[in-house]
Amino acid sequence: MERSAPPMTNPDQSSARFYLTTPIYYVNARPHLGHAYSTIVCDAIARRKRALGIETWFLTGTDEHGQKIERSAALAGRTPEEFATAVSGEFRGLWDRLGLSYDDFIRTTEERHKQGVQHLFATLRDRGFIYKGSYTGQYCVSDEAYVDGPPGTPCPDCGRMTETVSEENYFFKLSAFERKLLEFYEANPGFMGPESTRREVISFVRGGLKDLSVSRTSFSWGIPVPGDEKHVIYVWLDALANYITALGYGSDDPAHQARFAKFWPADLHLIGKEISRFHCVYWPAFLMAAGIPVPRSVKANGWLLFDQGKMSKSRGNIVRAETVQEVLGADALRYFLLREIPFGQDGSFSFDALVQRYNGDLANGYGNLVSRVVSMVHKYFGGVLPEAGAETQAEAALRESAVRAIAAFGPAFDDLNFSESLKSLWLLVAETDGYLTANAPWKRPTDRPEAEHVALQARVLATAAEAIRIITALVYPILPESAAKVWRQLGQGEIADAAKKSFLTELGWGGLKAGTKLGEPAPLFPRAEKDAIDRMQNLEDENNRSAVEAASGQESAAKSAPEAPTSALGVSPVPAPPAPTVAPAPAAPSAVPPTLLAVDAPAAAAPATPAAQPAAPPQVPQHITIDDFAKVELRVAQILVAERVPKADKLLRLEVDLGYEKRQILAGIAQYYEPEKLIGRKIVIVANLAPRKMRGLESNGMLLAASLPDGAPVLAGFLEEVPLGARLK
The H or E element containing residue 639 is: strand 634-645
Could you tell me which of 326, 328, 321 has the C-alpha nearest to residue 523?
Answer: 328
Nearer to ligand MSP, 310 or 635 (CB): 310
**Closest approach of Cβ 318 to ligand MSP, in Å?**
8
DSSP 594: G
3-state secondary structure of 709: coil
Bridge partner residues of 132 (DSSP): 170
DSSP 476: T
Among 181, 223, 237, 311, contact with ligand MSP (rule: CB under 6 A): 311
- Using CB under 6 A as the binding rule, whether residue 240 contacts ligand MSP is answered as yes
Cβ pair 703, 667 in contact under 8 A: yes
441-475 b/e (C-beta count within 10 Å ≥ 16 → b): beeeeeeeeeeeebbbbbbbbbbbbbbbbbbbbbb
Rounded CA-CA distance 725/478 in Å is 57
Distance of CA 222 to the CA centre of its chain: 23
**Closest approach of Cβ 146 to ligand MSP, in Å?**
15
- Using CB under 6 A as the binding rule, whether residue 310 contacts ligand MSP is answered as yes
**Closest approach of Cβ 700 to ligand MSP, in Å?**
29
Among positions 55-84, residues that touch ligand MSP (CB under 6 A) are: 63
**Closest approach of Cβ 107 to ligand MSP, in Å?**
12
Nearer to ligand MSP, 35 or 113 (CB): 35
**Closest approach of Cβ 277 to ligand MSP, in Å?**
11
DSSP 516: P
Bridge partner residues of 233 (DSSP): 215
3-state secondary structure of 82: helix
**Closest approach of Cβ 170 to ligand MSP, in Å?**
19
3-state secondary structure of 30: coil
Among 303, 351, 426, 673, contact with ligand MSP (rule: CB under 6 A): 303
Among 20, 24, 124, 330, contact with ligand MSP (rule: CB under 6 A): 24
**Closest approach of Cβ 241 to ligand MSP, in Å?**
8
Stretch that binds ligand MSP, among 268-276, 362-370, 530-538, 687-695 (CB under 6 A): 268-276
Nearer to ligand MSP, 153 or 348 (CB): 348
Cβ pair 702, 665 in contact under 8 A: yes
Among 6, 23, 154, 329, contact with ligand MSP (rule: CB under 6 A): 23
Rounded CA-CA distance 411/404 in Å is 12
**Closest approach of Cβ 243 to ligand MSP, in Å?**
7
- Using CB under 6 A as the binding rule, whether residue 34 contacts ligand MSP is answered as yes
**Closest approach of Cβ 42 to ligand MSP, in Å?**
11
Stretch that binds ligand MSP, among 24-32, 285-293, 452-460, 660-668 (CB under 6 A): 24-32
Among 18, 19, 25, 172, contact with ligand MSP (rule: CB under 6 A): 25
Distance of CA 246 to the CA centre of its chain: 22
- Using CB under 6 A as the binding rule, whether residue 274 contacts ligand MSP is answered as yes
Nearer to ligand MSP, 276 or 457 (CB): 276
Among 44, 192, 275, 706, contact with ligand MSP (rule: CB under 6 A): 275
- Using CB under 6 A as the binding rule, whether residue 272 contacts ligand MSP is answered as yes
**Closest approach of Cβ 597 to ligand MSP, in Å?**
39
Among 19, 37, 58, 221, contact with ligand MSP (rule: CB under 6 A): 37
Q: Report cis status (omega within 30 of 0) of the bond before 526.
A: no
Stretch that binds ligand MSP, among 7-15, 289-297, 307-315, 395-403 (CB under 6 A): 307-315
- Using CB under 6 A as the binding rule, whether residue 26 contacts ligand MSP is answered as yes
Bridge partner residues of 134 (DSSP): 168
**Closest approach of Cβ 362 to ligand MSP, in Å?**
23
- Using CB under 6 A as the binding rule, whether residue 304 contacts ligand MSP is answered as yes
Rounded CA-CA distance 175/205 in Å is 10
Residue least distant from ligand MSP (Cβ): 272
Stretch that binds ligand MSP, among 18-26, 83-91, 392-400, 425-433 (CB under 6 A): 18-26
Rounded CA-CA distance 257/251 in Å is 6
Rounded CA-CA distance 319/386 in Å is 47
Sheet holding 304-306, edge to edge: 309-310, 304-306, 347-348
Phi-psi region of 419 (alpha: psi -120 to 50; beta: other; left: phi over 0): alpha
Q: How many residues at the interface with ligand MSP, by CB under 6 A?
A: 21
Cβ pair 695, 554 in contact under 8 A: yes
How far apart are the two ends of the chain, measured CA to CA in Å?
66
Stretch that binds ligand MSP, among 7-15, 23-31, 465-473, 531-539 (CB under 6 A): 23-31
**Closest approach of Cβ 304 to ligand MSP, in Å?**
4
CA distances from 411 to 41, 138, 394, 417, 484 (A): 16, 45, 27, 8, 23
Q: For CA atoms 662, 667, 669, 671, give the dihedral sign.
A: positive
Nearer to ligand MSP, 25 or 343 (CB): 25
Cβ pair 713, 569 in contact under 8 A: yes
- Using CB under 6 A as the binding rule, whether residue 19 contacts ligand MSP is answered as no
- Using CB under 6 A as the binding rule, whether residue 35 contacts ligand MSP is answered as yes
Residues that bind ligand MSP (CB under 6 A): 23-26, 34-35, 37-38, 63, 239-240, 242, 271-272, 274-275, 303-304, 310-312
